[in-house]
Amino acid sequence: MARDIVQVEIKRIPLEIEDSGLGVVELSDLASNVEKYMQRLQEEGEIDTLKQALRTALFFAAQAYLSNQNEGGKRQEEEARLDSLISKLKTSLDNTH
């Protein structure tokens, strides 16, 4: 059975994202938001890409937590997705160094 794969790019690093329940447009928009946030960190003087990625993941995890705090079980799904994103970002960044 073929898996649905969406390709996005963050800071010129291509990422293949398996079906996450989001479409190409949504994932591309999220990737763009991640890249913009990482760029803001870089402008503040943070140049370590791995540290940028982890701070960005934590920022978006905190946003998701706060916005979904009252949604019960759905919050756990979001945290699992964020954990997966953090893991994929770290793996991707480790592979580029």
Q: What is the pLDDT of residues 58-67, one digit of tens each?
A: 998 888 888 7
pLDDT by residue (tens digit) across 11-34? 899 999 887 788 889 889 999 999
3-class DSSP state for residue 45?
coil
Largest CA distance in the chain: 46
β-bridge partners, 7: 16
d(CA 69, CA 63): 10
| pTM attached to this predicted model | 0.63
d(CA 29, CA 90): 20
